[in-house]
A and B are shown apart, each in its own frame.
Chain A
Amino acid sequence: MAEAQANDRRSLEVLEAQFDALFDRIPGLYGVLFSTADGDPVSTRFNADDMQRERLAAMSSSLVALGETMAKGAHQQACDYVIVQSGDGYIVSLRIGKRLLLSAFASKDTNLGMLLSSCQGTAEAISAKLRRREASNNKGRTGNGQDR
């Protein structure tokens, strides 16, 4: 139990380490949400108090699931992003590996290309770090098992 909690905490640190980088890189960004693939919020940084993290996390999951299903139904390759564009700005949701999602909320003066590339880069960086961490944990467990 303690080991699982420590792993969760370290994974959270990996996610939250990306907040500053994203906000620094993307002028106009006003929210970042990390959530589980099935729609539970994991960590958020919102510049507005009235953004509902639970609802937005669930909606991100629905959007990505629908985007992937729609791409498949249209015989397209895997869905890379779901982009919502409104008169006020952009929302981008994408996967971080199999089990997590990243959603970014940005105002209309944001460069969409910059937003997409930064989100993609962040998702890949987090994914690589979590994979390395998981491999390291597995190695540690195997090593402990051999010691016994």
Chain B
Amino acid sequence: MDRSRKFLFTGPPGVGKTTAIAAISDIEPVSTEMAASGELAERKETTTTALDFGEIRLADGEIIRLYGTPGQQRFEYMWRLLMDGAMGLIILLDNSRPEPLADLDMYVENFSDLIRSSGAAIGVTRTDDYPEPDISTYYQRLSQHDLMLPILDCDVRSSADMQLLMDVLISTLESIEEPDTA
């Protein structure tokens, strides 16, 4: 019996998906970094172009497999490949980017099948320096997609923050699996 579950991390380039997976992985994470070009190169030296991979090994023997996607939309084929078999999605958004709500729209639309068939949680980064849009604005935007998903402020470098985001996602999925029948 397969004692593993697969979760996917996505979000715009530079949001910190590789860092987030490294923060909670129990193994040395696998990354596929290449030199960044264009405007992105002004913010960071490298970017993921295939996938990130890490694992969380639980005490009961279950393994949580963590996959990170490339951020740029030109890697949409990798998104499709990586979504296969995933049981949940974490979308990381960066409040310092020019249009974080448009980023939300883009990832929600592209990962719609996974979100609606399993579930998702959203982490918003760099909110200390860039408080807008606030969390309630993100909830309003999600409602336009007819979605209600948990949204948290987070620091991708913090294993506690990333673990909390994972716990929130897993709790959400369990709620969906075991609906209250009362």
Contact = CB atoms under 8 A, between A and B. Distances in A.
A and B associate: yes
Interface of A: 36-40, 54-55, 57-59, 61-66, 68-69, 73, 98-99
B74 A99 contact: no
A99 B34 CA distance: 8
B35 A99 contact: yes
A37 B35 contact: yes
A64 B50 CA distance: 9
B77 A55 contact: yes
Given A62-B70, A65-B49, A40 B34 contact: no
A96 B77 CA distance: 24
B77 A69 contact: no
Given A36-B37, A66-B32, A69-B30, A55 B74 contact: yes
28 contacts: A36-B35, A36-B37, A37-B49, A38-B35, A38-B36, A38-B37, A39-B72, A39-B75, A40-B74, A55-B74, A57-B74, A58-B75, A59-B77, A61-B34, A61-B50, A62-B32, A62-B49, A62-B70, A65-B32, A65-B33, A65-B34, A65-B50, A66-B32, A66-B50, A66-B51, A69-B50, A99-B35, A99-B37
Interface of A is mostly: helix
Contacts of B74: 39-40, 54-55, 57-58
B160 interface: no
B78 to A, nearest CB: 6
A39 B38 CA distance: 11
Nearest to B38: A40
A61 B33 CA distance: 10
A62 B72 CA distance: 12
A57 B30 CA distance: 22
B19 interface: no
A118 to B, nearest CB: 23
Given A37-B49, A57-B74, A69-B31, 17 more contacts: A37-B35, A38-B34, A38-B35, A38-B37, A38-B49, A39-B75, A40-B38, A54-B74, A59-B77, A61-B34, A61-B49, A62-B32, A65-B50, A66-B32, A66-B51, A99-B35, A99-B37
Contacts of A38: 34-37, 40, 47, 49, 72
A84 B176 CA distance: 42
B115 to A, nearest CB: 23
